[in-house]
Structure 1
Amino acid sequence: MKANFEHLQSAHCENGVTTNLLRNVGVSKITEPLAFGIGSGLFFIYIPFLKVNNGPAIAFRTQPGLIFKRTCKALGIPVVRRKFSSKEEAQRVLDECLQSGRPVGCQVGVYYLTYFPKEYRFHFNAHNLIIYGKEDDNYLISDPVMETATTLSSYELERVRFAKGVLAPKGQLYYPKENHPVTDDQIKHAIKNGIKRNIRDMLHIPGPIAGVSGIRFTGKRIKNWRNKLGLHEAGLYLAQLVRMQEEIGTGGGGFRYIYGAFLQEAYAYHKDEKLLEIAQSFTKSGDMWRNAAVQSAGIYKGRLSTQEDFNLLGDTLIEIAEVEKQAFQALSKIKWHN
């Protein structure tokens, strides 16, 4: 059993799953940048009291699942999402979907993904992929971050669908419920609302750990890590920063590039030159995040070790916070026309 499905590679897993599943139900105008922007995917949060892989919890994007949920809701497309306590029930429902020719998105853990290079396998349970068929005991997998489609055995798929730990997927699957026509006016309205929600998330969440305040807060904390934690543990913290920034999907820098591309594509629906100007700010932010990753790697690999190195890295994040703050403030001043 195999759905009529075309594998398309993307920069980030949930963007790609969202785009590919929507294309499968006839929504061909939604690109990866549009899905990311409409779903208000850009974010930052630093949670020092929650530890993941020997470091503090850091995220550069919104909560897993929200990009798909928000994009479909904005376009008026009903969705089905299910989690399971029973592995047998999870496989039965999956097989029924495939038998009816319906590809489905799944949230999985990456640690046991056999087609991932070993250096990319660690305990992270918010990866997304599409299952679009089954041949004998092998499921046909469209993982958007891979160049070509691949397969997992039923045991391998069960293992990643029921990975344990933080954000345990619990066999989760999801899909658009039905084919649904989407108009340019719907996309135009969805773009406006997606931007407004992202302005709220990056500028107006109370407290110091989220949005641009969170980036600034993290920069200040980094300056203290060497003396407070010692070089070894500080290095582990920075390794976590780089891992979440550059190895989980597109990470911090890549997400900023995608958001810049989103604003450029938004210009086709909202003819305001400011969108193109602000897009350049996010490209600049992406470059700065990539430079921060290089600085962080230099420290945790032992090439850089002085307090000045930590100060420089902290100042880089504080500068990034200012760039993104100004960009979102500029977006908040745009006059939208229905």
Structure 2
Amino acid sequence: MNTYTQTDAFRHVQTAHCENGVTTALLRYHGLDFMSEPLAFGMGSGLFYIQIPFMTVNNGPAISFRTMPGAIFKRTCKALGVAVTRKKFSSQQAAEAFLDQKVKDGVPVGCQVGVFHLTYFPKEYRFHFNAHNLIVFGREDDHYLISDPVMEDVASLSREELTRVRFAQGPLAPKGHIYFPENVKPVTDEMIRKGIATGIRRNVRDMIRIPGNFAGVNGIRHTSGHIRKWRDKLGLKKAGLYLGQIVRMQEEIGTGGGGFRFLYGAFLEEAAGYMQDDRLAVISEDFTRSGDMWRAAAIKMAGVYKGRLTEQKDFDEIADMLLDIRLIEKDAFQKLSRLNLGK
């Protein structure tokens, strides 16, 4: 029996969102025990909103409540002076060989995968989404040990199952994407404070200073305007499917809208301690309120999707809820922009 494991050294971390969890678990494995999911999310400027024009996902609007896949890990590691190795592969055999060598060397690695063929996922959560993240931390015979941060316990995948999800086809195809931190050195509180300040400033830029109408708080207004027109433009059935797609993007793909707002609020509370600035904790309450409102909007959208709500006034109410959310988030980021957090 050829068995390689890291179960004694690597510790599984369950988190709300996959990339935050991979970042947290890998950095903790390398000795950065202070790392938490909110801190990774905030230092990585994870909060975002965009309705991507001229693109659909699962026959619905392409909406994201978070920054580009991979950015949270990259930015957080950079802030802490951690070198990162990333590789993609055109050959499945080369991807398998590289992974096998890292496992044999006892190095836990992050992998980008497609969700649709993840056999340990409940069937209702398997759909075509190729930006999920997990950690491979060992192997027992021909099964790889998987730490998927959104799962309560560790799982396993056969060689064939893992290769299939690593080379899933479609938008954001992972192409065997593998990544891991290297040369991790001790981190000072000053480095953490600088990382927090940089993360906040970048998130301010992305949410209230990004040009155009599709992204940031203006992107929320853009979606609101679409929702108001969908019933007449698309018909009730298709409009309901579009709203259902927003709910899926918000609530099922790694916490989405509401959950990410709660997470950013938790980051600001943690940041207040590092920065010794209670104003951050006060502003965190705005994001908690925004998260509650995103959840309320999702419930209303689900009512249309399920056929319980059918009138134009229901679409108007949802659109108005998004406008209210936009104002809260714009105000919160403007407050953050006025804080002197240092360069």
TM range (shorter): over 0.9
1:234 alignment partner, one of 232, 239, 246: 239
Shift of 1:8: 1.2
Q: What CA distance in whole angstroms lies between the structure 2 residues aligned with 1:8 and 1:325?
A: 32
Query: What is the deviation of 1:235?
Result: 1.1
- Please state if 1:35 is matched with 2:40: yes
Letter in structure 2 aligned against 1:231: L
Partner of 1:138: 143
Q: Does residue 265 of structure 1 match 2:270?
A: yes
Which consecutive aligned stretches of 4+ in structure 1 deviate over 6 angstroms post-superposition?
Answer: none
Tell me by how many angstroms 1:315 deviates: 0.3
In structure 1, what residue type is equivalent to 2:142?
A: D
The corresponding residue for 1:2 is: 5
8 Å Cα contact 1:15-1:68 kept in structure 2: yes
Task: Give structure 2 stretches of 5+ with no counterpart.
Answer: none
How much is the aligned-residue C-alpha RMSD, in angstroms?
A: 0.8
Of residues 305, 312, 315, the one that matches 1:310 is: 315
Residue number in structure 1 paired with 2:224: 219
Using structure 2 for the length normalisation, give the TM-score.
0.97
Distance change in 2, residues 1:337/1:50 (3 Å): closer
- Kept in 2: contact 1:220–1:318 (CA 8 A): no
Secondary structure of 1:151's counterpart equals strand
**Quick one: which amino acid aligns to residue 132 of structure 1?**
F
Q: Distance in 1 between matches of 2:56 and 2:342?
A: 44
For the 8 Å contact 2:51–2:63, the answer to whether it is kept is: yes
Could you tell me how far 1:337 is from its partner in structure 2? 4.5
Alignment of 1:54-93 (within 5 A): 54-93=59-98
Amino acid at match of 1:36: F
Q: Tell me the equivalent position of 1:321.
A: 326
Q: Which amino acid aligns with 2:179?
A: Y
Task: Give the whole-Å Cα distance in 1 for the aligned partners of 2:51 and 2:272.
Answer: 32
Q: Hey, what does 1:288 align to over in structure 2?
A: 293
3-state DSSP of counterpart to 2:245: helix
Residue among 196, 199, 206 paired with 2:201: 196
SS of residue matched to 2:15: coil
Map of 1:22 onto structure 2: 27
Residue 327 (structure 2) pairs with residue 331 (structure 1)? no
How far 1:180 sits from its partner (Å)? 1.6
The answer to whether structure 1 residue 100 and structure 2 residue 105 are counterparts is yes
Q: 1:150 aligns with which of 141, 144, 155?
A: 155
Q: How much has 1:108 moved relative to structure 2?
A: 0.3
Q: Percent identity?
A: 62
| Structure 2 counterpart of 1:221, one-letter code | H
**How far apart are 1:182 and its partner, in Å?**
0.9
The AA in structure 1 aligned to 2:5 is K
**Is this contact kept in 1: 2:134–2:146, CA < 8 A?**
yes
2:18 corresponds in structure 1 to 13
1:269 aligned counterpart, secondary structure: helix
Q: Distance in 1 between matches of 2:293 and 2:185?
A: 40
Note the C-alpha offset of 1:89.
0.3
CA distance in 2, matches of 1:227, 1:89: 51
The reply to whether residue 205 of structure 1 matches residue 206 of structure 2 is no
- Mapped to 2, the partners of 1:273 and 1:35 lie a distance apart of 20
Q: Give CA deviations for 1:50-70 in whole Å, capped at 9, x if unaligned.
A: 011010100000000000000
Partner of 1:161: 166
Contact 2:137/2:147 (<8 A) preserved: yes
- Number of aligned residue pairs: give it: 338
Gaps of 5+ in 1: none
Q: CA deviation at 1:48?
A: 3.6
**Cα distance, 1:279 vs structure 2:** 0.1
Give distance in 1, aligned partners of 2:331 and 2:113.
36
Partner of 1:44: 49
Distance 2:324 2:13 in 1: 36
Tell me the distance in 1 between the aligned counterparts of 2:109 and 2:284: 33
- Post-superposition shift, 1:178? 2.5
